[in-house]
Amino acid sequence: MAGDLSSWKQLEMSADSAATLLLLFVSYGSLLPQGVLISTLRVLLKRHGGDPQMKSRAERWFSCSLPLFPLLPPLFLTLFLPLLTLRRPQMAAACVQLLLAASLWLTPLSEAAAVAPLNVSRAAAETPSHLWMLSAAETPSDLWMLSAAETPSDLWMLSAAESRRRRDVSSREINALLDYHNRVRSQVFPPAANMEFMLWDEGLAKSADSWASRCVWDHGPTQAMRYMGQNLSITTGRYQSITDLVRSWYEERHHFSYPNRCSGAVCSHYTQMVWASTKKVGCAVRTCSNMKVFGNTWKEATLLVCNYSVKGNWVGEVPYKRGKPCSVCPSSYGGSCWRNQCSPKTKPRRLTRL
């Protein structure tokens, strides 16, 4: 009996034919080559209707379902075989449709499980240090500027495959950075007589973002380093709080003894933070992929760039004058003092970035 195979919903096939198809798929699906099975399928379909659209659908389903064939024999023996012995065409057709639906439903899940990426966390021990810092004044001269000609382009520049993603610094993070800087500045020891209150500068933030967008582990641009201070911090992967990226700068205070210079280890990040006349800061954060850091390639890195004005870390100068807080403030402040710092007469407001 030839059935109308133009639609799966109208599939009507004799119990013998349905049993033949199912037995062929289940018994030999994991043994015979795909080409042999498809050829056999074509013969059976031609015998029962010869609809080209039906052939194409059946072949596509058959190709996608090959990985599931080893799982079908138990299902067939326990469920479909007893039904097929009833020799009812409608029951056989229902079994075929149920088998097709189950296979098509499970195939995408099996393919997704096969290609799911392995998510591996990177431990701090895998790199020389989990958190690297770089200051514009780490050399013995305390004034380090590196021109483009001194840096090999293949060492620092990004390839086309490397990516960089902007991460806007939120108003909350801006206030956190300002609070952290001003708290550090207000607690210096010995006390500072001329420490100025630090404010956020959007122009410095934009210049920091412009440089951070290059995803280069170096200071720059060179021309700007002549009048602008800069601190850099980088960490692998992501971070919980933006202050995590600047806390290590504050820890450098242990290597600084007023009025002497850094004792051995780097402390120029800290001295830039507490430079008395530096009263403006602007920072930017970028997420970089395949970034070169000291000759190593970091798969994912978070780069923080903070620019300062006016520039600190001048050779032969101390970060601030020692004395009673606010006793030597610039005249422009009119004698106003807040939290051990020379501040405007009006109390600074919390910043809101639109």
What is the set of domains in the chain, with CATH numbers?
A: 8-115 (no CATH), 124-342 (3.40.33.10)
**In this predicted structure, what is the pLDDT of residue 53?**
57
- Range with lowest mean pLDDT among 27-31, 131-135, 144-148: 144-148
pLDDT tens column, 249-283: 999 999 999 998 887 779 999 999 999 999 999 99
pLDDT tens column, 320-335: 999 999 999 999 999 9
> Which residues have C-beta within 8 Å of that of residue 57, sequence separation ≥ 6?
8
Mean of pLDDT values over 108-131: 32
Highest mean pLDDT out of 111-120, 156-165, 169-178: 169-178
Mean of pLDDT values over 115-133: 31
**CA dihedral sign of residues 149, 153, 156, 160:** positive
> Which residues have C-beta within 8 Å of that of residue 38, sequence separation ≥ 6?
59, 62, 63
Query: Which DSSP letter does residue 306 get?
Result: E
* Contact between 129 and 236 (Cβ < 8 Å): no
pLDDT tens column, 162-201: 455 666 899 999 999 999 999 999 999 999 999 999 999 9
Mean pLDDT, the chain, integer: 70
Q: How far, CA to CA in Å, does 33 sit from each of 28, 29, 38, 345?
A: 9, 8, 9, 86
**In this predicted structure, what is the pLDDT of residue 41?**
54
Q: Is 7 exposed, middle or buried (0-12, 13-18, 19+ CB in 10 A)?
A: exposed
Find the angle CA(192)-CA(195)-CA(199) to the nearest 5 degrees. 150
pTM of the entire predicted model = 0.56
Query: Which DSSP letter does residue 330 get?
Result: -
Q: Is the pLDDT confidence value at 216 over 90? A: yes
How many CB atoms sit inside 10 A of residue 97's CB?
13
Q: Is the pLDDT confidence value at 40 over 90? A: no
Token readout for 105 is 């439903």
**In this predicted structure, what is the pLDDT of residue 164?**
57
Containing 308, the helix (H) or strand (E) segment is strand 296-309
Mean of pLDDT values over 102-111: 43
Return the percentage of the chain with pLDDT > 70, whole number: 51
Mean of pLDDT values over 206-210: 97
**CA dihedral sign of residues 128, 133, 134, 135:** negative
Token readout for 182 is 């001003």
Q: Which amino acid is at 349?
A: R
Q: What is the CA radius of gyration of the chain?
A: 35
Q: How confident is the model at residue 237 (pLDDT cuts 50, 70, 90)?
A: confident
Return the percentage of the chain with pLDDT > 90, whole number: 45
Name the pairing type of β-strands 199-200 and 280-293: parallel
**In this predicted structure, what is the pLDDT of residue 99?**
53
Query: DSSP string spanning 107-139?
Result: HHHHHHHHHPPP--PPPGGGSS-SEEEEETT-S
- Range with lowest mean pLDDT among 155-164, 184-193, 295-304: 155-164
**In this predicted structure, what is the pLDDT of residue 136?**
47
Token readout for 83 is 């039904």
Residue scoring higher pLDDT (126 or 179): 179
Residue scoring higher pLDDT (281 or 144): 281
Containing 54, the helix (H) or strand (E) segment is helix 52-65
Look-up: residue for tokens 């959007």?
202
Token readout for 177 is 């950075």
